[in-house]
Structure formats: C-alpha cells, structure tokens
C-alpha cells in the first residue's frame, strides 16, 4: 500500500509554515511588500526547495507597480535565502536543509485575470439581454 502523504510533502508544508512567519518577522526590507508563500515543492533528495510566492504591492495597483513589486520581492527573497535557510534549520531538524529557490506564483494572477474576463463577459451578456428586451418590448 502506497503512502498517502510523502515525506517531501510534509517537509514542504513545514517549510511553508515556518518560512511565512520568518519572512513576516525577520525580513525588514521596505521593498518586499506583502508576501504570501503559496506552495513549497521539495526535491526527492531534499537538495532544494522551490518556494512559490505571491506579492501585493503597497500603494496604487497598476501593472507597472505590480511588476516592480514582483521583481523586488524576488530579489530580496533570493538575497535572504541563506539567512532564511539557516533560520529554518534551527527549527526543522533535518540532516540536510534544502537550498531555497524563490519563484513568483503566476497562477493567482492568472486566476484573477480569468475571473475579470468572465465578469466582463457576464456584464456584456446582461447588457445585451437588456437591449434585446428594450427593442422587442417596444
């Protein structure tokens, strides 16, 4: 019988929880913005962990500010990866703590974009139905 929950998944979940609190408490870089760790995928040999995050820019939300916030957050997190790895090793007892590689999670942005397109289509359909009612009703 295969195990339902692999060790790498458990390690990834623990890294995700600990990393989220570490970033919130320890990283004081003003360029970081609001970062959320959405997923951690650990390699089978525990050599590295791909950390997927989302970020919300401070202030006005435009495509340029969002792109700048993503770039800055990626840079800050990759620069702090050694520190974060050391702090994680203090809390998680593993023989080898995986190297941390940070990636922006585009799935949330893509979902938000698709949701906007669906809403726009619904509004256009409702408007078209109202116009049809007006022309057929007169």
32: CATH: 3.30.300.20
Q: Which residue, among 50, 48, 42, has the nearest Cα to 105 in the 3D structure?
A: 50
Q: Are residues 21 and 58 in the same domain?
A: yes
Would residue 34 count as lying in a domain?
A: yes
Question: What confidence score (pLDDT) does residue 3 get?
Answer: 58
Q: Are residues 88 and 125 in the same domain?
A: no
Q: What is the mean pLDDT of residues 13-19?
A: 91
For residue 137, the enclosing domain spans 107-138
Instruction: Count structural domains, the chain.
Output: 2
Per-residue pLDDT of 70-105, as tens digits, reads 888 889 999 999 999 998 888 888 888 899 999 998
CA–CA gap between residue 70 and residue 44 (Å, rounded): 28
Q: Are residues 60 and 111 in the same domain?
A: no
CA–CA gap between residue 23 and residue 36 (Å, rounded): 9
Would residue 2 count as lying in a domain?
A: no
Q: Are residues 59 and 11 in the same domain?
A: yes
Would residue 1 count as lying in a domain?
A: no
pTM: 0.74
Q: Could you identify the residue written with the tokens 């090793």? A: 89
Q: Are residues 136 and 72 in the same domain?
A: no
Q: Are residues 47 and 111 in the same domain?
A: no
């Amino acid at each position: 019988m295969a195990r339902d929950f692999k060790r790498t998944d458990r390690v990834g979940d623990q890294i995700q929880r600990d990393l989220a609190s570490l970033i919130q408490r320890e990283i004081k870089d003003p360029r970081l913005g609001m970062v959320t760790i959405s997923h951690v995928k650990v390699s089978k040999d525990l050599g590295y962990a791909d950390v997927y995050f989302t970020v919300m820019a401070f202030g006005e939300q435009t495509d340029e500010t969002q792109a700048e916030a993503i770039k800055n957050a990626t840079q800050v997190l990759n620069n702090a990866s050694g520190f974060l790895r050391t702090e994680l090793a203090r809390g998680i007892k593993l023989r080898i703590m995986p190297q941390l590689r940070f990636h922006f999670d585009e799935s949330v942005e893509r979902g938000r974009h698709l949701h906007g397109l669906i809403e726009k289509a619904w509004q256009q359909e409702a408007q078209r139905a109202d116009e049809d009612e007006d022309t057929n009703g007169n």
